[in-house]
């Protein structure tokens, strides 16, 4: 990854820690100090509660961006309960565990889904991957720097809950998309996630996608509910990114191990994901705050893991 990519910020922080070499500004143009690398934007998709549609949004947003002509890598960061490969009908032979064991490179892990979307699969049912420490998460993030051709977007599907996994990927990303559905537990868990990410990791801006709603009115109400408590109790901005309606077509697509944007782009959910991808295109330059956040986090990881 490159300097523009939040996740690479972690790499730079870690690299700096080990080598005490070039200042950040120089590293912005590649560690070798040669030609600038292409800018890439890292978008972490989180939600707090399980089952709110994080994976569905990650897959379809990633593919919708790919359909628009962008180069996109989708990272399945739900390490032990990985399911992006299943959702897309891919059969990986290697996963993140092999990367951590040094058996393969990040390039070796890339699988190609429809529309040129690249997928980095995690491993499912692997006990070890469910117990990764902060240092290992950092190593996964660092591995992205080895990509010969960084993508335009890296979409990261994070795990449910408030684990290190979610915190590290969200803190390192340029943008955090929070998926919420109209259930009390989804709202309270999303609020808890925002609280932890802002209080402990300095993430101040979030974008919300309302999933499985009836219409945009319901989506906006959901956003207002959460934004109101955030305004009152947290120092964060929660922007409304858009909504995805509850759609049987989407479920049918899942059963056929395909993305709805690929199978039925004109369905209600297909069009909604197209709009979400369009929204991403309108975002201004990322704030690039990942470095500070990750330098802090990686120091903690280093202490904890002896890195
Ligand atoms: N917009 C939608 N319309 C209809 N069904 C949906 C929609 N979004 C998600 N679902 C359903 O919800 C299920 C859970 O979605 P998904 O796996 O994306 O959630 P998740 O947040 O990633 O869950 P986990 O954290 O457990 O991995 C899907 O299998 C799908 O059946």
How does DSSP classify residue 38?
P
Please report the atom of ligand 1 found closest to the CA of residue 244. 1
- Asked whether 214 and 246 are in contact (CB, 8 A), the reply is yes
State which ligand 1 atom lies nearest to the alpha carbon of 181. 8
Cα(252) to ligand 1 centroid in Å equals: 12
Taking the centre of ligand 1 as the mean of its atom positions, its distance from the CA of residue 85, in whole angstroms, is 15
Does residue 26 contact residue 171 with C-beta atoms inside 8 Å? no
Q: From the CA of 152, how far away is ligand 1's center (Å)?
A: 26
294 Cα: distance to centroid of ligand 1 (angstroms): 30
Q: Whose CA is nearest to atom 31 of ligand 1?
A: 251
* CB half-sphere exposure, 6, CA atoms < 13 A: 27
According to the model, what pLDDT value does residue 122 have?
84
What distance in angstroms lies between residue 285's CA and the mean position of ligand 1's atoms? 30
CA 108 to ligand 1 center in whole angstroms = 28
Burial label, 207 (beta-carbon count in 10 A; 0-12, 13-18, 19+): buried
Helix, strand, coil share of the chain (percent; to 5):
50, 15, 35
Is the ipTM higher than 0.95? The answer is: yes
Which long-range contacts link 235-239 to residues 24+ away (Cβ below 8 Å)? 235/198, 235/204, 236/194, 236/198, 236/203, 236/204, 236/205, 236/206, 237/204, 237/205, 237/206, 238/178, 238/194, 238/206, 238/207, 238/208, 239/205, 239/206, 239/207, 239/208
Output the residue whose Cα is nearest ligand 1's atom 16: 53
Give the distance (Å) from ligand 1 centre to CA of residue 218: 18
H-assigned helices in the chain: 6-19, 24-27, 54-67, 84-87, 96-100, 106-109, 127-130, 134-143, 164-172, 184-201, 216-233, 248-255, 260-263, 268-282, 290-305
Sketch out the chain's domains with CATH numbers.
6-305 (3.40.50.300)
Interior CA angle at 15 toward 12 and 19, to 5°? 135
Q: Which residues pair with 210 in a beta bridge?
A: 180, 243
Going by alpha carbons, the residue nearest to atom 3 of ligand 1 is: 246
- CA–CA dist 136, 301 (Å, integer): 9
Neighbours of 221 (CB within 10 A): 12
Q: Which of 262, 278, 281, 282 is nearest to 270 (CA)?
A: 262
Dist. CA 275–CA 269, nearest whole Å: 10
Residue (of 105, 115, 103, 36) closest to 74 by Cα position: 115
Ligand 1 neighbours (beta carbon < 6 A): 47, 50-56, 78, 160, 211-212, 244, 246-247, 250-251, 254, 269
Residue nearest to atom 30 of ligand 1 (CA): 251
Contact 262, 63 (CB under 8 A): yes
Ligand 1 atom at shortest distance from the alpha carbon of 157: 22
| Dist CA 35 CA 33 (whole Å) | 7
User: Which atom of ligand 1 is least distant from the CA of 59?
Assistant: 18
DSSP state of 79: T
The full length of the chain comes to: 307
pLDDT of residue 31: 31
Q: What is the mean pLDDT of each run of 10 residues along the chain (307 residues)?
A: 41 38 32 50 91 96 98 87 87 88 91 96 73 80 81 91 82 93 95 93 93 97 96 95 98 97 98 98 76 46 47
Check: pTM over 0.90? Answer yes or no: no
């Amino acid at each position: 990854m490159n300097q523009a990519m939040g996740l690479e910020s972690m790499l730079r922080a870690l690299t700096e820690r080990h080598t005490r070499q070039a200042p950040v500004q120089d590293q912005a143009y590649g560690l070798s100090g040669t030609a600038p690398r292409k800018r890439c934007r890292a978008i972490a998709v989180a939600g707090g509660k399980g089952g709110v549609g994080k994976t569905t949004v990650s897959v379809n947003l990633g593919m919708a961006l790919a359909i628009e002509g962008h180069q996109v890598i989708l990272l399945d960061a739900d390490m032990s309960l990985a399911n992006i490969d299943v959702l897309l009908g891919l059969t990986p032979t290697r996963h993140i565990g092999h990367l951590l064991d040094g058996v393969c490179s990040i390039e070796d892990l890339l699988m190609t889904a429809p529309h040129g979307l690249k997928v980095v699969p995690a491993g499912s049912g692997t006990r070890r991957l469910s117990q990764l420490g902060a240092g290992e998460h950092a190593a996964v993030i660092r591995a992205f720097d080895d990509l010969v051709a960084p993508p335009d977007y890296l979409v990261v599907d994070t795990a449910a809950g408030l684990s290190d996994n979610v915190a590290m990927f969200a803190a390192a990303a340029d943008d955090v998309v929070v998926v919420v559905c109209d259930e009390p537990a989804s709202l309270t868990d999303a609020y808890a996630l925002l609280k932890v990410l802002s209080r402990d990791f300095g993430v101040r801006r979030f974008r919300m996608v309302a999933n499985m709603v009836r219409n945009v009115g319901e989506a906006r109400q959901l956003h207002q509910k959460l934004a109101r408590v955030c305004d009152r109790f947290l120092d964060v901005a929660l922007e409304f990114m858009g909504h995805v309606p509850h759609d049987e077509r989407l479920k049918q697509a899942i059963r056929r191990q395909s993305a709805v944007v690929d199978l039925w782009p004109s369905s209600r959910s297909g069009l909604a994901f197209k709009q979400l991808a369009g929204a991403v295109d309108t975002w201004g330059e990322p704030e690039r705050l990942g470095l500070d956040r990750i330098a802090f986090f990686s120091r903690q990881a280093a202490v904890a893991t002896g890195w």
